[in-house]
Amino acid sequence: MPVDFSGTWNLVSNDNFEGYMVALGIDFATRKIAKMLKPQKVIKQDGDSFYIHTTSTFRDYLLEFKVGEEFEEDNKGLDNRKCKSLVTWENDKLVCVQTGEKKNRGWTHWLEGDDLHLELRCENQVCKQVFKRA
Ligand code: YOG
C-alpha cells in the first residue's frame, strides 16, 4: 500500500520555527504573530497529485502539485519569493526542493505512527513540525 497523507492535521509541535522564519527574512512583528499560530493542514492526495492547504487565523497557503513535475511557487503571504519547486518520493517520504534565491530551501513530509511530520529547511535552519489528525 502506498503512503497516503490525506486528512486534516493539527499542529502539535513546532521546533525552531523562529530560526526558519529569520532565515526567510520574515520581519519581527510578523514572526511574533506567526509563532503563536497553530496551523492546520488539509491534505488531499490522489496518487501523485497533491493539494496541501495550510490554514491559520492569520494567513493561509495553498499548494497544489504533482510529484515529479517542476512548478513555479510564489510563496504568497509567506516570504513572497518565487522559486522553482520539485517534489519527489524518497521511499515513503515526500521531498520538496525549492530552488531560488535562498540556498538549501525545501521541506520533507512523512508519516510516523499516527502523526504527520514536516521538516522545513532554509539555509542553515531546520524547523521540525508534528501534526496530529483532527
Ligand atoms: O508547507 O510550505 O506542507 O506548502 C510556513 C510559514 C505564517 C505567515 C507555512 C502563516 C513560513 C507569516 C507553510 C502560517 C513562514 C510567516 C500558515 C509551510 C513565513 C511567513 C500558512 C509549507 C508545505 C508542506 C506546503
Q: Measure the CA dihedral 132/27/107/126, to 10°.
A: -90
Q: Total domain count for the chain?
A: 1
Q: Is the pTM for the entire model greater than 0.95?
A: yes
Q: How many other CB atoms sit within 10 Å of the CB of residue 92?
A: 11
CATH number of domain containing 124: 2.40.128.20
In contact, 77 and 59? CB cutoff 8 Å: yes
Pocket test for ligand 1, best of 78, 115, 123 (most atoms within 8 A of CB): 78
Ligand 1 center–CA 78 separation, angstroms: 6
Q: What is the mean pLDDT of each run of 10 residues along the chain (134 residues)?
A: 92 98 98 98 97 98 98 98 98 98 98 97 98 98
Residue found under cell 504573530: 33
The closest residue, in CA terms, to atom 6 on ligand 1 is: 78
- ipTM of predicted assembly, 2 dp: 0.98
- Phi and psi at 28, nearest 5°, equal -55, -50
* Full residue range of the structural domain in which residue 115 is found: 5-131
Does the CB atom of residue 11 touch ligand 1 within 6 A?
no
